[in-house]
Amino acid sequence: MALGYLDGNVLPVEKLAAVVASITNVIEVPLSVDIEACYTDEPKKIADKLKPIIEAGAVGINIEDGEGSPDLLVLKIEQARENSGQRRGKALYQCSYRCLPQWPRHA
């Protein structure tokens, strides 16, 4: 949960970018940002979804909360690395995918 929004691409990208900008305006170290599941399941749209985050000063991203296939997740990382930063004149320094085990729920 962030800013009162549940996980899963619910937090509006513009609100996340505003938080990123407020942080990067006062720190002197690189900032990596959790970007949910990239706010899309269409890899070709990832660069546009990341534009406000990169422009707000993030130098790295962590993709999380994705439920897609491993192939889709790899495509998301590739698109983020190849298109998001370089097309904006800034290269992403770090792009990763956070994997957490899903434990079975017991009744």
Structure tokens at 102: 């899903």
Of 85 and 72, the structure prediction assigns the larger pLDDT to 72
Answer left, alpha or beta for residue 85, where phi above 0 means left and psi between -120 and 50 means alpha. Answer: alpha
Q: Is residue 48 assigned to a domain?
A: yes
**What value does the mean pLDDT of the chain take?**
78
Domain count for the chain, please give it. Answer: 1
Q: Where are the beta strands (DSSP E) in 22-74?
A: 32-34, 60-63
The answer to whether residues 68 and 42 touch, using CB atoms and an 8 Å cutoff, is no
Structure tokens at 70: 């491993």
Q: Is residue 2 assigned to a domain?
A: no
Average pLDDT of the residues in 59-86 = 77
Query: Which range of residues forms the domain containing residue 32?
Result: 13-97
Q: Is residue 32 assigned to a domain?
A: yes
Average pLDDT of the residues in 74-90 = 69
Q: Is residue 7 assigned to a domain?
A: no
3-class DSSP state for residue 19? helix
pLDDT for residue 21: 96
Confidence (pTM):
0.75
Sequential DSSP letters for 23-74: HHTT-SS--EEE-TTTT-S-GGGHHHHHHHHHHTT--EEEE-S--S-HHHHH
Q: Is residue 107 assigned to a domain?
A: no
Q: Is residue 44 assigned to a domain?
A: yes
Weakest-pLDDT range from 1-5, 22-26, 31-35, 59-63: 1-5
pLDDT in tens, 48-58: 888 899 889 88
